[in-house]
Structure 1
Amino acid sequence: MALNANDRAIARFTMLGHALVHWFEMSIPIFLVVWRDSFDGSIALLGTVVAIGYALFGIGALPAGILADRFGPKRLVLLCFTGMGVAFLGIAASSSIYLIGAALVCWGIAASVYHPAGMALISTGASEQGTIFAYHGMAGNAGIALGPFAAATLLIFFDWHLVAALLALPALGAVIYGLSADFDTTAAVDTDVDAQDEEALTLPAFLTNSRHLLGSAFLVVFVLVAFEGLFYRGVLTFLPTILQGLPAMSGITLAAGLEGFSPGDYIFVGLLVVGMSGQYVGGKLTDRIPVERGLVAIFAILAALVLVFVPLSSGGIGVIIGLCVLLGFFLFAIQPFYQVAVAQYTPPETRGLSYGYTYLGEFGFGAASTSIGGFVLGSYSFGVFFAVLAAFALVGSGLAMLLVVGERRIGFIQRYETEPAD
């Protein structure tokens, strides 16, 4: 089915936002090497500075969701664009690692706004949600790949201060485009949720809305997303290191000029690119199959892939590439399913808060996988690490199964209409 004009406008706006958030997010690690040389700081200090910005990226999602419900998602996304651009201009003007840290704090706060506001916009404004979630996810993967590529390429030719300023320019363009973008933010629901009264910002309102959400089926979705976040962050954080340590990689010789790169780096980038197709297919499938059953199946597939990764990786480079292709596809194919599930199990008037909780689980609680994975890899084998990831996925599959049977057997299961009202 072709998208209508309103859906196309929302798709363009949110695709731009999703790509831009990850453009900035994934370019930050590229600066770490030059910052270490410029400020003669320890990697621990630099890592802590970056970690604070990333932590706020997840933690800030919850208050951002409240603000999206109060002021409307479009205004929040425009503030996100502005804040991220200003933060990178602040990085460009920084003369110490502590000023960079302050700029990254600003970036984390601004970036945290996007996911709850952008998801809320799609869920209340778009009629073909599955298709738009697919395009939206593909755009995010494009930002994940292009951000570090652009940063690394520009750093070959220019000083890092100028590179940070150049990376901020797309945010300026996004603000200009967003101010002229015209779409109905409530076309998919029968209530006016574009902005609520001032009570939406009060503590009693937050507690009441949270109690209603977490006393419903959304609690299952929230915990499910947290386990997906644990799996997702664990894979993306440690897979490059694991790939470098596989015996099959030691016999590969790269072309002249590429000696500083590992073959595993290229395979990992390929995994991220394949993820674009996973986002698209997953989004389209949410319009065709129940999202609960899709979540059960994809979680189970992810568990199986990580369980067989170590034993099958001994089969050679071709098998490793095949495993990474499948892992990249399903790692990102699952995201449209839980994004649609949030819309189906929450009322429209608290959709921003709902996605705030969702991305607190995805990026906030999911970040614990970095510590868990580091401990497991430091104390045990790759096989144990992948077994832990499989356990995360199997818990997610079990929670999705609870949603499958819950409509018939559990009284608190309630779904909400996400199609346009007549």
Structure 2
Amino acid sequence: MMQTIAVNRNDRAIVGLVSLAHAMVHTYELSIPILIPLWLEAFPVDRATIGVIVAVGYGLFGLGALPGGVLSDRFGSRRLIAGCLFGMAASFVVLSFAPSILAVGFALVCWGIAASVYHPSGLSLISTGVEARGNAFAYHGIAGNVGIALGPLAVTLLLLVADWRTVAIVLAAPAVVAGLVAVRVRFDERAAVPEAEADGGDSKGSVGVGSLSEFVAESKLLLVGPFAAILLVVMLDGLYYRGVLTFLPNVLSEFPAFAPVEFAGREIEPYRYAYSGLLMVGVLGQYVGGKLTDRVSTERAIAVSFGALVVLALAFLPASEVGLVPLLVVGALLGFTLFVIQPLYQATVAVYTPAGTRGLSYGYTYLGVFGVGALGAAIAGGVLQYAGPPTLFAVLALFAALAAGVAAWLSYR
């Protein structure tokens, strides 16, 4: 009985920390688009230039996941998470004092590097330290979605009473508090690793990747096995995710149903609230996805979910032509399904990889989701510019169809 209580306490400590950190990472990530118009006013810069500067920060957010995974396996997740939180806070303090657009770019580069280590270290910590893994992935995902949905809203409200420099400093404060929590909280990072693995029974069960040769050897083992198929799935998921979320506000703003309205002397943009609502529905999707990891074949659930995303992509524009209610229903289903997939592939990675290189595995995973997936924004922008929304949603449906096919192959292989 005492052992069960200890395990539960360990689970709660880990889940609490990673949930807090996950919410902070995505709050910062989604605050950046809100600040871009203000930077265009503050500095002599055009949209193309600022787009490149922001893309570099977002790109490092994905590219840094792989070395972050290696460092997590080698030095432990707690240190990486604390460094991530303090680093993001410092980056936004630097941002608040930026005298030029190049200084803004430097701050975003620092943010991207700091934030990039979170996902491989946080997910590795869940997979090796938490017994109730499915629930942990669910709560972790919900916290991320709270940051995704409420972060932009919080920034918007703060901007009503302060300038963007003050808002940047205010945003740094909670990350400092979260970093102090990461330093002080106590837990066993490997409580859920089977004893045989903890004693070195699997590949690098206790020390992870310690050299370049080991990195190459472990990467070869990962990339020639079924994990390679999971990696392809998450890349396609990243392309869909960035492709639809980056430009969906722009698409919604062109719908007559979301035309600006006057309220209390201010112009309200309804499409922003619809977009935030779509992201909030993702909270429920994350929770359901986490629960499903303990109850069904994750590969099959991934295939079904991507099949649903195919249908929703093709139905989105027709729903907008029917009326506001059908559009909101399809949008809510899109938000739910888009985020239900994340805990499913996170749990699937844990199944297909050894504990000793779990951080490396999640490093590759988030290199695919946020690194390769960042191309989805560029693809979506080009398609919208030269072909229009119908072609964009057709391309998104193609990404989802390919991912569904790979997941189905994994399920029946």
The answer to whether the 8 Å contact 2:142/2:283 transfers is yes
* Letter paired with 1:255: F
* Partners of 2:318 and 2:162 in 1: CA distance: 45
Structure 2 residue 298 is matched with structure 1 residue 291: yes
The answer to whether the 8 Å contact 1:71/1:196 transfers is no
- Offset at 1:256? 4.2
* Partners of 1:69 and 1:103 in 2: CA distance: 27
- Match runs of 1:334-413 below 5 Å: 334-406=341-413
- Match runs of 1:42-121 below 5 Å: 42-121=46-125
- Offset at 1:103? 1.5
* Letter paired with 1:216: G
The answer to whether the 8 Å contact 1:70/1:195 transfers is no
Q: SS at the partner of 1:156?
A: coil
Structure 2 residue 248 is matched with structure 1 residue 233: no
* Partners of 1:215 and 1:299 in 2: CA distance: 24
* Partners of 2:239 and 2:347 in 1: CA distance: 19
2:307 pairs with one of 300, 306, 310? 300
2:263 pairs with one of 255, 261, 285? 255
Give unpaired runs (5+ residues) of structure 2.
none
Q: Report what 2:18 is aligned to.
A: 14
Q: Report what 1:169 is aligned to.
A: 173
* Partners of 2:48 and 2:346 in 1: CA distance: 35
* Letter paired with 1:182: R
- Offset at 1:32? 1.7
Q: Report what 1:222 is aligned to.
A: 231
Q: Report what 1:36 is aligned to.
A: 40
Q: Report what 1:420 is aligned to.
A: none
**Greater CA drift, 17-26 or 302-311:** 302-311
* Letter paired with 1:124: T
- Offset at 1:237? 1.1
* Partners of 2:378 and 2:37 in 1: CA distance: 22
Q: SS at the partner of 2:322?
A: coil
Q: Report what 2:282 is aligned to.
A: 275
Structure 1 residues 298 and 222: alpha-carbon distance in aligned structure 2, compared to 1, 3 A threshold: same
Q: SS at the partner of 1:259?
A: strand
**Greater CA drift, 383-392 or 144-153:** 144-153
- Offset at 1:253? 4.4
Q: SS at the partner of 2:246?
A: helix
Structure 2 residue 130 is matched with structure 1 residue 122: no
Give aligned-pair identity as a percent: 49
Structure 2 residue 214 is matched with structure 1 residue 205: yes
Q: SS at the partner of 2:319?
A: helix
- Offset at 1:9? 1.0
* Partners of 2:300 and 2:266 in 1: CA distance: 44
* Partners of 1:132 and 1:258 in 2: CA distance: 42
Runs of 4 or more above 6 Å deviation: none
Q: Report what 2:272 is aligned to.
A: 265
**Greater CA drift, 27-36 or 286-295:** 27-36
Q: Report what 1:415 is aligned to.
A: none
Structure 1 residues 340 and 241: alpha-carbon distance in aligned structure 2, compared to 1, 3 A threshold: same
- Match runs of 1:119-198 below 5 Å: 119-190=123-194, 191-192=197-198, 197=207
- Offset at 1:145? 2.1
Provide the TM-score with structure 2 as the length reference. 0.93
- Offset at 1:282? 1.0
The answer to whether the 8 Å contact 1:307/1:387 transfers is yes
The answer to whether the 8 Å contact 1:94/1:100 transfers is yes
* Partners of 1:383 and 1:36 in 2: CA distance: 30
* Two-structure CA RMSD over aligned residues (Å): 2.0
**Greater CA drift, 29-38 or 118-127:** 29-38
* Partners of 2:361 and 2:266 in 1: CA distance: 45
* Partners of 1:227 and 1:40 in 2: CA distance: 36
Structure 1 residues 80 and 399: alpha-carbon distance in aligned structure 2, compared to 1, 3 A threshold: same
- Offset at 1:195? 9.1
Give unpaired runs (5+ residues) of structure 1.
407-422
* Count, aligned residues: 403
- Offset at 1:162? 2.2
* Partners of 2:254 and 2:108 in 1: CA distance: 32
- Offset at 1:180? 1.7
* Partners of 1:87 and 1:259 in 2: CA distance: 32
Q: Report what 2:322 is aligned to.
A: 315
The answer to whether the 8 Å contact 1:87/1:104 transfers is yes
**Greater CA drift, 205-214 or 306-315:** 306-315
* Letter paired with 1:219: A
